[in-house]
A and B are shown apart, each in its own frame.
Chain A
Amino acid sequence: MKRTDILARVFMVLVFVVLYLPTIFLIALSFNTSAKITFPIQGFTLDWYAGPLKPYEMNPSYIPIIHDWQFWNAVMISLRVSGITAVLTCGLVTLTALSLRYRLVGRDILFYIFLLGFVTPGVLVGLGNLLLFRILDITITEWNMIALDTIYASSFGFILMMSRFDPDLMLYEYTAAALRVGPLRVFRHITLPLIKWEVLSAGILGFLLSWGELIRSLWVVRGTGTVSIFLFVNLGVYPLTTKWFAAGTLLAVVSIAGLMVMATILSRGAK
């Protein structure tokens, strides 16, 4: 291997180490016996995951994960919100990206509106939506969160997807149209299979972005809220203990496993 290649790999590994440093510590320290966050670990225990529930313990900082129903509630809400956002992002980005390839009237203006979605600071989006629904006197539900996350993710996904479209895609569509295939069938049999990886990645993007979304969601939250909100609120109120590290580790392990599975699927799939 050439010297530059070795240098490149070292650099990338370094970046990864720095990126993963908190995660590593998260996992390591979640087995700490003491509740206080210290380094190094004082003892090894799994209590924070599956330990016994002390009776009358009301402080969430001391409830092991397995018994913390509020946490699981938040996880369910997160999954629901992120899942729906993923699906909606898929659909929205695909339709819009496909349609903007054609030279429509006012294409540039439309492009900028979609760009607005991520250029607008989250504070404004949240505040604006809050005010909007107050004025219209509609109750804010989970769907508001979903909508905001979808818009944010769509703006990203839109740019990322459009630039990954195969330039021959339109050619295939025209060919099919010339062969007198109806537009709907063209879409189903030609366009969709060719862009399925881009669509998939738009969905993944939607899921990921909405999972970690905090600022916009804070404004339109009702009830417990997603995991992000749950953790944010609780860590602001209750003391920081190892229990939260355990929560984070759980999320970490699940997410890494899930992504590894996807990586293997995608490696077999396409580019």
Chain B
Amino acid sequence: MVKHARYLLLLPGLITFIFFLVAPLLIIVMMSLYTPVWPGYTTDLTLQNYIRYITARQFPTLLSNTFFTSLLASAICLMIGFPFAYCYSFKIKSEKARNYITMFLLAPFLIDWTIRSVAWISILGDQGFMNSILLSMGVIGEPIKVLFTPTALFIIWVQTNLLFMIFPMNLALGRMNPEVIDAAKVLKAPPYRVFYEIIFKLALPGIICGFIFVFVGTISDYITPSLWAGGMQTIGLSVSTYATQFLWPQASAGGIILLIVSMAVLYILLKVVDIKKLVYE
């Protein structure tokens, strides 16, 4: 009886996920294979949506925009986030301090993302904080244009997603037995090897997890690039554009391509480390 009860526990999650996640995805797959006939579509199966999408002139730009910007953003988050997680786990001793740090990391989330992004205008804009100070100090002759360039995009993305990178890494680092590090030291490992062999390798599931979180989060955010990077086109944006015009098959095709990109990166990363290890044995 108890055994079947366990399956019962699984049921609500399973039903919700299948209905709101798996079914919509299947519909999108189906839709992407339908033939678009103006103003709607027929249910004849075809691959022309994909072919048209891939052979379109802007596709390489689209793909590289989407893929490389997300990759770069994830890498930047990693480079800032890992030292942060390391300091958090190993350098902060008091439990109270850690709790407060967690809360302060979470707080900006509740201030809506749009407004936070907008606040950057006052900092990076032509009359903003940064430019005013640099101008008055005479370092530059005219204001640096940061807004509406990819730099602004990365700043905003890092700010929004850093949290997602830090949390899994904290998790992985927190599970480490600190004596293992001492053991490596007494086994004649110099500090840099202690770091690589022990800390880095043990934190790897967390790092990969965080990387995936940030990558997927940024890849699906089409609003920020188009607003803040000077109208940068991404695959997500094209999906949205098609959808607002009710061109479902084309939108679905674009969406599936986005999913494939996301899955490809996920697959490669999961080959590096088995993420199940982070969660259960």
A residues at B contact (CB < 8 Å): 4-5, 8-9, 11-12, 15-16, 18-23, 25-26, 29, 37-40, 91-92, 95-96, 98-102, 104, 108, 110-111, 113-125, 127-132, 135, 147-148, 150-151, 154, 156, 159-160, 162-164, 177, 183, 204, 208-209, 211-212, 214-215, 219, 227-228, 231-232, 235, 240, 244-245, 247-248, 251-252, 254-256, 258-260, 262-263, 266-267, 271
Contact = CB atoms under 8 A, between A and B. Distances in A.
A161 to B, nearest CB: 9
Interface in B125-142: 125, 127-129, 132
Contacts, number: 274
Contacts of A23: 108, 111, 116, 119
B21 A117 contact: yes
B118 A116 contact: no
Interface string B216-252: 1001111100000000000010011001000010011
Contact of B106 (A123, A208, A244): A208
A59 B102 CA distance: 39
Contacts of A154: 13, 16-17
A100 B16 CA distance: 16
Nearest to B216: A119
A119 B212 contact: yes
A173 B141 CA distance: 70
B263 A119 contact: yes
A91 B12 CA distance: 9
Contacts of B117: 22
Closest 8 CB pairs between A and B?
Answer: A128-B24, A255-B110, A121-B220, A248-B115, A22-B119, A99-B9, A96-B13, A8-B91
B220 A251 contact: no
A259 B110 CA distance: 10
Nearest to A255: B110
Contacts of B57: none
Given A95-B12, A99-B6, A235 B114 contact: yes
Nearest to B252: A127
10 contacts: A9-B87, A19-B108, A37-B125, A111-B279, A123-B222, A135-B27, A160-B167, A215-B223, A254-B110, A259-B110
A212 B110 contact: yes
B13 to A, nearest CB: 4
B119 A228 contact: no
